[in-house]
Amino acid sequence: MKLLLLRLICFAGTLVFALPILANEVATNSKISKTVVENDQSVVVVEKGSESRKRIALVIGNGNYRFTDSLSKLSNPGHDAEDIAVALRSFGFEVMEKNDQTKEQMDEAITEFGRRISGSEAALFYFAGHGLQVKGQNYLIPVDARIDSDAQIPYKSINVNQILDEMDNGKSQANIVMLDACRNNPISGKFRSGSTRGLAAPASTPKGTVIVYATDPGNVAADGNGRNGLFTAGLLLAFKGNDLSLGGVLARASEEVERGSEQTQTPYVNGPATLQKNFQFAANPVAKGDEKAAPQPPVYVKSSEEIERESWESASASASINAIDEYLTQYPQGRFTDLARADFAHLKSEAAKAAMKSDSAARKIAEALLWAEVQKGDSQSDYDAYLAQFPHGEHAVQATSRSSILHEAATSAATDKRNNETAEFRTQLEAAEKGDVEAMKKLANYYDAGFGVKKDALTATAWRNKVEAAVAQQQLRAANQGNVAAMLDVAERYATGSGIEKDPAKATLWRAAAARGQEVEKNRQLAEYKIKNFTYLEDTTRLIKQNDVDRNQSSTCITSLPIVVIVGLVEDAFFSPTKSYELSELKKAVALRPATWGKPDSMIARASRQLEARQSAFNDQ
């Protein structure tokens, strides 16, 4: 009954205010819209029956950021949003004023904003707070965002394109976006490469949209030392000027910002010049030089009470919890506050009833879906997750039993793993203590990783030092045996003190010994090259074997090899001392051969001629 009486009173009040308005409109048939101030009371001229004259603004100031290890708090945005909201209301804007908004709250406010601006004369979005760009996309940061990497930004922040899409769908005659969000980004140093200071220039904008940044793309804006940020302070001064066209306001604001920043900060404007020229914050402006033009027709103005009434009627008609909450925020002691609170409570109650009604069925569906996934995974963590969400669910007993079994199996496997690691560690320790270098290397890694033993970086380093000392001794022994590569390694160790006591003089001696060894090796390789490419020994052996096949050996006939063959054998012995035994055996084998070897067409004779030709060719080289 109380609620009904309040509604009747509200309706009667509406009639009282509406009748003079209708009479005045009939008399004047006015279509003029104008904002004035009389007796410290805001009033707005009404355009007859024109929904398109509606002006809507969403103003957000985020300064009280919760996770200061990634985003610093800002002192100005709350004041900036408050002062901009006051100024816009004086120009006839219906303002949705929001401060310190979370991600969820910003999404809801932007959605409600998109609903309200449908078919309006002007839609204006203002944001003060942290903003940044990642890979050419601009994001506004809610106060509950904890951002540790650039990959988190798209789903923890608000993409500016979301706002532009709402404005595009709203089909407002003029869209204005003002972002005082180019402040220095304290989290950009944590990112790999994607994030950049300041905001990015818009890739595209909806038709009839002007976008304004506090400073040029890629630069940062000053927070300001007073109540407002530098850019917002410039806007507020411009709103008090004579030229209240959008272009005039932005030009005046830019002058103030450049002056206040000593030319280091210049606001950025992107959008149609015609819109900037024609849109007027103050409705029905008088053109410069036309102050004495024809007298203005009589107009009717709305009082602050009427403005409040229209705000309430709009919120009430929407049946939206957010819209009514917005009215209560703007008019906490308003004439319709009791009605608003009653409607707000009723809508909340209905929403709760609907949620409770659908909760049971939805919960069963959710439980069934989760249980199907749990069975697929069949891990202890899967069953524990199910029990955490449905502790008394249909499958709770089965989940508890399976979780216990898997826990016992995991515990047993972990124990076996630890025992095996411990046994492996002890085996390698025993080998290392006996001087096994490979075991020493494994021990160092085991101490680093905590494999079979408690992690101990100092002990791991000690074992690596032992490895270096053991390898150094191995290399020293090899160097003493003439290994040139080992000589160079030993020289380097003496030079650096790695695994052996540093001694620059010994390092020099070992480098000299290595150089001598390299020369000997070079000569040896040259001799091997000559033997490989010009070998009497191999040819002679082949010829003798072939001759034994062609001729029967006669033990009663002794002949000598041709002189050129003997010379070749001697050269082989000189260039390849390691073949001396083979050469001696060969000489014994060729001592007894048939006299036919001396014939001009015998194999030995032919071989001798071939060897003479090869000798000549070798000498020519």
Report yes or no on 13 lying in a domain: no
DSSP string, 462-504: HHHHHHHHHHHHHHHHHHHTT-HHHHHHHHHHHHHTSSS---H
Q: What is the pLDDT of residue 581?
A: 55
Q: What is the pLDDT of residue 23?
A: 39
Q: What is the pLDDT of residue 200?
A: 81
Which H or E run includes 406? helix 396-433
Q: What is the pLDDT of residue 549?
A: 56
Average pLDDT, the chain: 77
Q: What is the pLDDT of residue 100?
A: 94
Closest CA to 47 of 296, 278, 299, 245: 299
Q: Which of 238, 267, 285 is the last residue of a domain?
A: 285
Note whether 59 and 154 are same-domain residues. Answer: yes
pLDDT band at 408 (very low <50, low <70, confident <90, very high): very high
Note whether 62 and 170 are same-domain residues. Answer: yes
Between 621 and 410, the more confident residue is 410
Closest CA to 129 of 120, 121, 139, 137: 139
Q: What is the pLDDT of residue 201?
A: 80
Q: What is the pLDDT of residue 610?
A: 59
Most confident of 162-166, 381-385, 574-578, 579-583: 162-166
Q: What is the pLDDT of residue 6?
A: 43
Note whether 461 and 588 are same-domain residues. Answer: no
Query: With pLDDT > 70 as the criterion, what percentage of the chain qualifies?
Result: 68
Query: What is the number of other CB atoms lying within 10 angstroms of the CB of residue 517?
Result: 18
pLDDT band at 52 (very low <50, low <70, confident <90, very high): low
The reply to whether the predicted model has a pTM over 0.75 is no
pLDDT over threshold 80, residue 490: yes
- With 0-12 / 13-18 / 19 or more C-beta atoms within 10 angstroms meaning exposed / middle / buried, residue 140 is buried
Report yes or no on 427 lying in a domain: no
Q: What is the pLDDT of residue 611?
A: 56
pLDDT band at 203 (very low <50, low <70, confident <90, very high): confident
* Predicted confidence (pLDDT) per residue in 259-311, tens digit: 888 888 889 999 888 888 889 998 655 444 444 444 444 444 556 777 788 88
pLDDT over threshold 80, residue 591: no
Q: What is the pLDDT of residue 428?
A: 93
Q: What is the pLDDT of residue 504?
A: 93
Between 511 and 620, the more confident residue is 511
* Mean pLDDT for the stretch of residues 490-501: 91
Q: Which of 240, 268, 285 is the last residue of a domain?
A: 285
Note whether 499 and 600 are same-domain residues. Answer: no
Three-state secondary-structure class, residue 177:
strand
pLDDT over threshold 50, residue 482: yes
Report yes or no on 31 lying in a domain: no
Q: What is the pLDDT of residue 425?
A: 92
Query: Do 87 and 228 contact (CB within 8 A), yes or no?
Result: no
pLDDT over threshold 90, residue 107: yes
Report yes or no on 567 lying in a domain: yes
Note whether 472 and 559 are same-domain residues. Answer: no
Report yes or no on 348 lying in a domain: no
Q: How would you classify the pairing of strands 41-45 and 301-302?
A: antiparallel
90: CB partners within 8 A, 6+ apart: 35, 37, 42
Note whether 88 and 68 are same-domain residues. Answer: yes
Domain range for 79 is 48-285
pLDDT over threshold 70, residue 41: no
Note whether 462 and 511 are same-domain residues. Answer: yes
Q: What is the pLDDT of residue 307?
A: 79
Note whether 593 and 480 are same-domain residues. Answer: no
Query: Do 507 and 492 contact (CB within 8 A), yes or no?
Result: yes
Report yes or no on 84 lying in a domain: yes
Which H or E run includes 119? none
pLDDT band at 333 (very low <50, low <70, confident <90, very high): confident
Between 565 and 346, the more confident residue is 346
- Strands (E) in 331-487, as ranges, are none
Report yes or no on 14 lying in a domain: no
pLDDT band at 356 (very low <50, low <70, confident <90, very high): low
pLDDT over threshold 60, residue 86: yes
Q: What is the pLDDT of residue 133?
A: 86
Q: Which of 513, 529, 545 is the last residue of a domain?
A: 529
Cα–Cα distance, 482 to 461 (Å, whole number) = 32
Size of the chain, expressed as the number of residues it contains: 621
Cα dihedral sign for 583, 584, 585, 590?
positive
Note whether 53 and 114 are same-domain residues. Answer: yes
Q: What is the pLDDT of residue 302?
A: 56
Note whether 150 and 237 are same-domain residues. Answer: yes
Query: With pLDDT > 90 as the criterion, what percentage of the chain qualifies?
Result: 36
Between 105 and 277, the more confident residue is 105
Q: What is the pLDDT of residue 511?
A: 92
Note whether 150 and 225 are same-domain residues. Answer: yes
Domain count, the chain: 3
* Predicted confidence (pLDDT) per residue in 431-473, tens digit: 999 989 899 999 999 999 999 999 999 999 999 999 999 999 9
Note whether 519 and 553 are same-domain residues. Answer: no
* Predicted confidence (pLDDT) per residue in 500-536, tens digit: 899 999 999 999 998 988 888 777 776 565 545 545 5
* Predicted confidence (pLDDT) per residue in 111-131, tens digit: 999 999 988 999 999 999 998
Q: What is the pLDDT of residue 15?
A: 43
Report yes or no on 102 lying in a domain: yes
Cα–Cα distance, 567 to 354 (Å, whole number) = 114
The per-residue b/e assignment along 205-231, b for 16 or more CB within 10 angstroms, e otherwise, is bbebbbbbbbbbbebbbbbbeeebbbb
Report the CATH number that the domain containing residue 181 is assigned in CATH: 3.40.50.1460
